[in-house]
Amino acid sequence: MIELNQVVKKYGAKRALNGVTLSIPKGKVIGLVGENGSGKSTLLKVLAGLSSISTGSVTYRGTSITRTIATDLAYMSDTDLFYPYFTVRELMEFYDSQFADFDLIKAKELADFLKVPHEAKMKSLSKGNRGRVKIAVTLAREAKIYLLDEPFSGLDPMVRDDIAKGLIRFTNPEEQTIIMSTHEIREVEPLLDEIIVMRGGQIIAHETIDEIRDFYGVDATSWMVSLFKEPQQGKEINV
Amino acid sequence: MGIDFLPDKPIYQQLIDRILGDILNGTLTVGEKLPSVREYAVEAGVNANTMQRVYKELEQMEITETRRGQGSFVTEDEQKIAALRNDMKEQLVRTFLQSVAAFGFTKDEIVECLKDWGESND
C-alpha cells in the first residue's frame, strides 16, 4: 500500500534516512524500533508527508506522498501541542472541525473507555491523561493509516495498558494499518504483526513476529539484541 | 499488558493452548459462546489479527464452530473434546518423560515415584 524506494532524507550534511526501501502492506500493525537517532521519527514524518525527501520515492496507492494524503492518514507526534485552555470536549470539537474523517461519537467513546473527564481543561490534566487524550483524538479519525510516534513513551504502566487496549478496541486491523515507533518492545510485541528495525538511517531487518518466534525461537527483544551484536548472523534481511 | 507470554513460542499458539486448557478444565463448557475476537483481543492485550488467527485455527481443529452472525462456540461434540483431552494428556506425558530422561531417570523410577505421589495426595 505504501512503497518506499531508496529514500534519502538529508538534514544539512547528515543523512537521517540513508537509502530506505520498504513495502508496507494494508491491515498490519507494525512496530518501528531502533536506537535514538536511528531515523524512526524521520521515517514517520516522511510517511505522513510532513517532511520532504532528498532523493528516492515514496508512494501511497501508486501516487507520490504529499501533504494532501493527510486525509487518509492520522499522524500522532511525540510531543503534545494542545491549546491549554481547551477542555477535552472543546479539543474534540476542534478536531471534528478540522478533519473530515473525525468521528465525534467515537472520540467520546474513546474518552470514556480511557476514563478521561470530558470537561477538564487540557492544562489541568496529568501527563498520563494528556497521553490518553492524544491517542483518543488520533484514533477518533477513521483513517486508513495511523502513524504513532512513541505512543507509550514516558507514561506509567496503567496509561500504557489503557492506550494498548484502546488501540486494539478502536482500530480494525483488516482495514487499517498502524505503524508505531517504540522502545517498549517487550510490552508492545503482543500488539504487533511485524517489526522493522532501524539503525543509522537504514532498515536492518523487517520480520513478522510469528516468524521471529517460530524461526529463531526467541521473543522480539532477544532477536533485536542479537541483531545488534552480530548483524551478519541474522537471516537475510527481508525488506 | 494482558497475558504474559513465553518468549520461545508464537503468541497465537500460546493463546490456542490457553483456550484448549479452558475447555478441558471446564472454564469453558460444551456449546458455550466464546467472546468476540475483538473482546478477547482486548482482554488478552493482543492484536486482533492474532486473535483472528487463533479462532480460525480452533475452528480448523473442529474444537469450535462459527455460526454466521452469532459468533464462535465450543463444539457440542463431546467425542471431539474427549479426543482432545486424550491427545493433550499424551502430549504432556511425552514432554514430561523426555525432560526426565534428559536427567537420566529411568521410566520405572518415574512410574514408581508417580504412584507414591498419587497415593500420598489422595
Q: Choose which CATH entry (3.60.15.10, 1.10.10.10, 2.30.30.110, 3.30.479.30) describes domain B11-76.
A: 1.10.10.10
Contact between B48 and A173 using a beta-carbon 8 Å cutoff: yes
The residue among A149, A165, A159, A84 whose CA lies nearest residue A129 is A159
| Strand A194-199 versus strand A29-34 pairing type | parallel
Spell out the domains of chain A, with CATH numbers in brackets: 2-233 (3.40.50.300)
So where are chain B's domains? Answer: 11-76, 79-120
Dihedral angle of Cα A171, A177, A180, A185, to the nearest 10 degrees? 80
Indicate if the pLDDT at residue A69 is higher than 80. Answer: no
The residue among A2, A33, A37, A34 whose CA lies nearest residue A16 is A37
Q: How far is B4 from chain A (nearest CA, A)?
A: 9
pLDDT single digits (tens) A133-168 = 999 999 999 999 999 999 999 899 999 999 999 999
Q: How far is A52 from chain B (nearest CA, A)?
A: 32
C-alpha cell read off for A110 = 474513546
Indicate if the pLDDT at residue A41 is higher than 50. Answer: yes
Of the ranges B12-16, B49-53, B66-70, which one carries the lowest mean pLDDT score?
B66-70
Indicate if the pLDDT at residue A234 is higher than 70. Answer: no
Contact between B48 and A217 using a beta-carbon 8 Å cutoff: no
pLDDT single digits (tens) A117-141 = 999 999 999 999 999 999 999 999 9
- On whether ipTM exceeds 0.90, the answer is no
Q: How confident is the model at residue B120 (pLDDT cuts 50, 70, 90)?
A: confident
Q: Is B7 on the interface with A (CB under 8 A)?
A: yes
- Residue A208 has a pLDDT of 95
The residue among B50, B62, B52, B48 whose CA lies nearest residue B20 is B62
Cα end-to-end distance, chain A, whole Å: 14
Secondary structure letter of residue B7 according to DSSP: T
Q: How far is A39 from chain B (nearest CA, A)?
A: 25
Q: Three-class SS string for B22-63?
A: HHHCCCCCCCCECCCHHHHHHHHCCCHHHHHHHHHHHHHCCC
Q: What angle do CA A23, A25, A31 make, to 5 degrees?
A: 80
pLDDT single digits (tens) A94-108 = 999 999 999 999 999
